Structure 1
């Protein structure tokens, strides 16, 4: 096996022509949103040397990444790992795509750029599960630290941070009509849809400025790529984490034709996301022992919760309306308005998000059955509080083998019922005068709950927000403690969406960056 100092002469050099060292203070696995943010903050707050390993390319100068209007072109392209959830009768046995960013910046470089924090009770709930210090008031400063908010600094927002945050302006006819219709329906107008307890309708907030994506890569990592203490390797495929006794000592990875082991002087940090982080733990012998033994993997630590608690938001794509008048040029991220609402008035807080769409947002199953004219728009309901839980498992000890990824979408009856109600609410919004006068034809007609249920099976899919597979907590199935350290292994921490014990009622990019900001403070404090 080649060691770091034995790299072949033909191996590409690192950015800045830096020589790869045999040891770094910190090795960060994954250059997605969390990895970019954590790397930057550790450079800012410590004098440590850092190796950042990313399995994909850098993605620089790809127009579908930079131009906010083109983001759908990323899905299924060369910058998408294009994973799949296991099919299920709950979703009509249809193919369920799971986009994951295959580029520096990860999914934060290919997603729809919706900037949402969630409800304050999301984080208070984490704290109530035994995760002291993760309540909303405690995490708010880390959300603020990310932001360069268009209205400037306040008690609730930050200014001067790495990621520019703006309301989606100028607005679009579909967004304007949805906001007006929602108010006629009875929803209050939200000046800021990122309030403590968002319930109502307003302009979407997005990490977009002047039509361009403000990505975690651009904001956090790109400005420090030439830092002498940082080495970034793209196209570096991690095979496993090196464990000696009860300590993580380094990482084994493939870089082009070289198999390399690099040592970590202080910590290895997994920031590979809710799919790859548990996969790497299990390949390294950390996970459910019996499952690992059955695959011929030598167990190092029996952690039953690895790969468990997988869950995701559910997005309905198929409520399409033909307009009477030209809709005009698309802008922003092809959306612009968002509503947070309850599927049932008995709920304590909203469990639905309804998004405007300037174009037809349709699932593959719907697209296969229906042809849509050009002048169409959509309303896309999403279930943002989910009760269903799934699992991720290895199928093989081969690091390149596909995984068993089953989010069990709509596995719980309550989730399905909530989405039935969401369709009814969306159609009520479409029937309000402000929206109805825009509509020429509804392309997917559903007249009763039975027809809605059949529609949901075809329209439902992942909102591409997988979380929870290395859950934070103190119970028997927790993988990391509230300091994000893996239970039972020294020198190993996880910093990404996999640690979320319960998914926030929001898109997960902002919460993931918050976790990275929080983790950087924890690590820097320990380094002092």
Structure 2
């Protein structure tokens, strides 16, 4: 694919649709609105274009993108549950959003995840309902099947070659009686498997590349980068315009048909609150007007806790990084009585330990890591503005480990990973334990988890879909009580699925466009 060019079109006073945020959901909405109608679309992105940037395109270079110029630089607030540590939460600030800086995993979890959404009052969001939209996203290397799509905007491939650290995970899992499966995006996700990646020909395939680059030359699409949205204009109960910065000046651009928010689970609720849409008590505390009382804005924050990581000494140098530095994954149950997998682990071709663990353990020399996390986490938190200014401070609290059953499951995850590295499959790699440096007691394992607890970067749920008092959007993704305002990102997720959130957020964007176009 030739390197695209971002046209510099003049900013008009009004468009049919304005999409705010160009990440997984926003890119999908913008593309489908252009493809499926004659509408004019303005796509507003606060970050840069990020086109033809080597560190974005190179799958092996993704880790340093967090805390780079392409990241918002957010943190989770410390709590005693994680021993007072601040946990970084990378969020993409570039065309393509977090899909341009993430680990490129394409993974949608288990069908039961979406059936749970329907059971929670999200009509039309069962797995049967959402599967066609997942398939619509995909250009799967294996072609179309009952569960997979082909010809869609996002290229999805297995790694052509597995690093020995990734290969050993498959054999070691089989030794522990964890099944080895062909595809985690099939009928079930339980087992060890090569991962699915948005990588093709050795390069990242972001939402920008898949959804936006092919339509940048369409005259009905205006992509405005470097523009921060600071508020919405609501007139007679309808969102009619977006206030945003252009070259440091406030512009108000109107939308004739609708505004779609896709800023992600942090900045979508922030923009709503800055616009007077949220909990009245919170808005009054910040000195903001109450335009619409929606107490659920910023609540129900969910993420998957990740123990980062168990580190092991290697018998020999591991060689150059293959793919994104991982390659495989395992999904398994912390208890046989569970209806679906709740634990997840993945290999790392090097040291991926949290800073606190690096202080506590000697990890010098050649090492490899296994990250272990919980995908059916029960702990929930919140997002709270500390200022009514557009770029004011914000408190983001996932409440990791607040629920005892989350901690219990993570103990089993760490214990399993320690056993995994000692299986015969790792015999040519494993030269001993580094962090932890020996098998631990239960209480020691809990302390290890508190020191190593990090995030999968799967923040979601802060503008949850549903029918109750705390719901923010309805089952067609319309904001309750405000006309012309749709949300199309991970903030609408009511219950966190057992997967990376890029795929669900993309599916949500596809559905939002279908609702707007009247095709669903």
Query: Which TM-score band (shorter chain)?
Result: over 0.9
Counterparts of 1:526 and 1:442 in 2: how far apart (Å)?
55
Counterparts of 1:18 and 1:106 in 2: how far apart (Å)?
21
Match of 1:122 in 2: 113
The C-alpha deviation readout for 1:162-182, integer Å capped at 9, x for no partner, is 111111221111111111010
Counterparts of 1:500 and 1:117 in 2: how far apart (Å)?
13
Does residue 471 of structure 2 align to residue 499 of structure 1?
Answer: no
Q: 1:371 Cα deviation (Å)?
A: 4.2
Q: 1:209 Cα deviation (Å)?
A: 1.4
Alignment equivalent of 1:136, drawn from 127, 135, 148 = 127
Q: 1:369 Cα deviation (Å)?
A: 3.0
Number of corresponding residues? 514
Secondary structure of the 1:217 match is helix
1:348-497 correspondence to structure 2 within 5 Å: 348-444=339-435, 445=437, 446-497=439-490
Match of 2:143 in 1: 152
Structure 1 window deviating more from structure 2 (137-146 vs 444-453): it is 444-453
Q: 1:452 Cα deviation (Å)?
A: 0.6
Does residue 205 of structure 2 align to residue 214 of structure 1?
Answer: yes
Match of 1:185 in 2: 176
Does residue 305 of structure 2 align to residue 318 of structure 1?
Answer: no
Q: 1:276 Cα deviation (Å)?
A: 0.3
The C-alpha deviation readout for 1:6-47, integer Å capped at 9, x for no partner, is xxxxxxxx9523221111110111111211111011100011
Contact 2:385 2:395 in 1 (8 A): yes
Secondary structure of the 1:379 match is strand
Contact 2:107 2:500 in 1 (8 A): yes
Match of 1:523 in 2: 516
Secondary structure of the 1:260 match is strand
Counterparts of 2:440 and 2:396 in 1: how far apart (Å)?
34
Counterparts of 1:348 and 1:294 in 2: how far apart (Å)?
43
Counterparts of 1:16 and 1:108 in 2: how far apart (Å)?
22
Does residue 223 of structure 2 align to residue 232 of structure 1?
Answer: yes
Match of 1:96 in 2: 87
The C-alpha deviation readout for 1:314-347, integer Å capped at 9, x for no partner, is 1111311111133232111100110000112221
Counterparts of 2:316 and 2:8 in 1: how far apart (Å)?
56
Structure 1 window deviating more from structure 2 (369-378 vs 501-510): it is 369-378
Counterparts of 1:417 and 1:438 in 2: how far apart (Å)?
29
1:153-302 correspondence to structure 2 within 5 Å: 153-302=144-293
Counterparts of 1:173 and 1:116 in 2: how far apart (Å)?
22
Q: 1:374 Cα deviation (Å)?
A: 4.2
Q: 1:141 Cα deviation (Å)?
A: 0.7
Alignment equivalent of 1:48, drawn from 22, 28, 39 = 39
Contact 2:309 2:372 in 1 (8 A): no
Q: 1:437 Cα deviation (Å)?
A: 4.5
Match of 1:57 in 2: 48
Does residue 60 of structure 2 align to residue 66 of structure 1?
Answer: no
Contact 1:15 1:231 in 2 (8 A): no
Q: 1:59 Cα deviation (Å)?
A: 1.2
Counterparts of 2:370 and 2:46 in 1: how far apart (Å)?
36
Instruction: State the TM-score, normalizing by the size of structure 1.
Output: 0.95
Q: 1:430 Cα deviation (Å)?
A: 1.4
Structure 1 window deviating more from structure 2 (462-471 vs 194-203): it is 194-203
Q: 1:526 Cα deviation (Å)?
A: 7.3
Counterparts of 1:220 and 1:494 in 2: how far apart (Å)?
18
Match of 1:509 in 2: 502
Contact 1:118 1:194 in 2 (8 A): yes
Match of 1:86 in 2: 77
Counterparts of 2:88 and 2:453 in 1: how far apart (Å)?
11
Contact 1:117 1:506 in 2 (8 A): yes
Secondary structure of the 1:504 match is coil
Counterparts of 2:431 and 2:188 in 1: how far apart (Å)?
35
Counterparts of 1:18 and 1:285 in 2: how far apart (Å)?
31
The C-alpha deviation readout for 1:326-380, integer Å capped at 9, x for no partner, is 3232111100110000112221111111101111111121123334234211111
Counterparts of 2:288 and 2:249 in 1: how far apart (Å)?
23
Counterparts of 2:241 and 2:187 in 1: how far apart (Å)?
41
Contact 2:486 2:512 in 1 (8 A): no
The C-alpha deviation readout for 1:358-407, integer Å capped at 9, x for no partner, is 11111121123334234211111111111001011111111111111111
Does residue 22 of structure 2 align to residue 39 of structure 1?
Answer: no
Contact 1:211 1:331 in 2 (8 A): no
Counterparts of 2:8 and 2:374 in 1: how far apart (Å)?
47
Counterparts of 2:456 and 2:365 in 1: how far apart (Å)?
24
